[in-house]
Chain A
């Protein structure tokens, strides 16, 4: 099941103006992605943990997400220290471990987790519909926003259709294995899903035209930027600015 695990809540972060969250989320991610100092990235990770705590997210769910994200990081930890072309640090059985490889892995680990945690706190704490409206208010292309909102709208519908097709296959005693029959069954399932999706898309368009759709997608969400948002904007702006100064001038 596709769910929006973190989208709804009553925390201070959840109540911020979505436009502010999009901007703060993006700026922090950019600074952290370009930073390469251990102290700066450590501070960034600490700030991201703080924001995740302030957003009062379910810690088990957050850790599960982080574990998934760290798959590539673990892979790099296995490969990189052994394959890095640099002065040897110590020997691990028949292998030599390069110091710079380990340092690079450390930096990537901090960076990756800081950005992902901060993104959970700022992007995933609103429903995608709200994100779409915020993007619209921030003057992103109308067509892109319409595509995002409609895709989001129909993911859940098509997930149910896919589940229906899989159920129908199971009722006919389909059990997946590594063979052509399995691949053919899945290929027909996916093909059928596409046929239904295309038909549904046409019907959705006709229904929209019936209701007067003429090429403009209206977002009715009125967003208010109040004094608390302004205070948070100042605070978050200062934090991100400080990280940037620390990284590139100190």
Chain B
């Protein structure tokens, strides 16, 4: 989910850049040099996985996965997503240099929120863990949609209907991401539980 170049106003772009800088700086500070190769290969994995299109009815949507990314990377989600967005901008022209800040916040802030609020619940497992995983997939996309809508609304009040349409179109994706997160997290719990937050060394 990102906003293309040329749509947002100066103040929105600047505030996005400030938040993204702060988050990225904190994330980099928490990320030891020893952990960088693992974080980089994982975020390359998310980059590739987000290109997969899953069918939804007659249409299809690509996965966003920022909730799971937050659970696996924690605060490092900020620099990892900033880097992924730079790569998307260079390789596919999605997003771009002036919207890099706003788009980083759109994707990374919900990831970190999921990590901080749901990480422990998900790590415990059981029915609560599954509910937490669903909430993680659902609310990461929901929060991203809310930030997109706010960025559009603060740019121009007349973007309200367009922003509401964007948010509405994502309701199905929120549910699909929720289901997907439950299955993906349960898979990781069976195969490699050490990857989930709280259980890693």
Residues of A whose CB lies within 8 Å of any CB of B are 2-4, 25-26, 29-30, 32-34, 65-66, 68-69, 72-73, 75-76, 79-80, 83-86, 101, 104, 108-116, 119-120, 123-124, 128, 131, 141, 143-144, 146-148, 150-155, 157-159, 161-162, 176-178, 180, 182-184, 186-198, 200-202, 204-205, 208, 215
Subset of 14 A-B contacts with CB under 8 Å: A29-B5, A29-B96, A33-B10, A80-B159, A115-B97, A116-B6, A119-B97, A123-B90, A146-B40, A147-B43, A151-B41, A158-B41, A158-B48, A191-B183
A247 to chain B, nearest CB (A): 12
Which of the candidate stretches B54-62, B105-113, B124-132 sits at the interface with the other chain?
A: B54-62
**A181 CA / B187 CA spacing, docked (Å):** 14
Besides A33-B10, A75-B162, 17 new A-B residue pairs in contact (Cβ under 8 A), listed by A number: A25-B97, A29-B96, A69-B94, A116-B96, A119-B96, A128-B90, A150-B36, A151-B44, A152-B44, A176-B55, A186-B54, A190-B63, A190-B184, A194-B195, A198-B41, A204-B37, A204-B38
Contacts of A154 in B (CB 8 A): 40-41, 44-45
B40 to chain A, nearest CB (A): 3
B52 to chain A, nearest CB (A): 6
Q: Is B150 an interface residue (CB 8 A)?
A: no
CB atoms of B41 and A201 under 8 A apart:
yes
B116 to chain A, nearest CB (A): 20
**CB contacts between A and B, total, < 8 Å:** 246
Residues of B whose CB lies within 8 Å of any CB of A are 3-8, 10, 13, 24-25, 28, 31, 33-34, 36-49, 51-52, 54-57, 63, 65, 68, 72, 79-80, 82-84, 86-87, 89-94, 96-98, 156-162, 165, 176, 179-181, 183-184, 187-188, 191-192, 195
Contact of A144 among B46, B57, B79 (CB under 8 A): B79
Contact of A191 among B3, B90, B97, B187 (CB under 8 A): B187
**A178 CA / B57 CA spacing, docked (Å):** 6
Contacts of A119 in B (CB 8 A): 5, 89, 93, 96-97
Contact of B4 among A112, A123, A182, A183 (CB under 8 A): A112
Instruction: Give the one of B6, B28, B180 with max A CB within 10 A.
Output: B6
CB atoms of A194 and B10 under 8 A apart:
no
Q: Which 4 A-B pairs have the closest CB atoms?
A: A201-B38, A112-B6, A111-B6, A150-B40
**A104 CA / B40 CA spacing, docked (Å):** 40
CB atoms of B57 and A151 under 8 A apart:
no
CB atoms of B183 and A184 under 8 A apart:
yes
Contact of B188 among A26, A73, A157, A191 (CB under 8 A): A191
CB atoms of B180 and A187 under 8 A apart:
yes
- The chain A residue with its CB closest to the CB of B165 is A79
**A153 CA / B48 CA spacing, docked (Å):** 13
Contacts of B82 in A (CB 8 A): 144
- The chain B residue with its CB closest to the CB of A154 is B44
- The chain B residue with its CB closest to the CB of A194 is B45
Contacts of B98 in A (CB 8 A): 29-30, 33, 115
**A110 CA / B44 CA spacing, docked (Å):** 33
Instruction: Give the one of A34, A180, A201 with max B CB within 10 A.
Output: A201
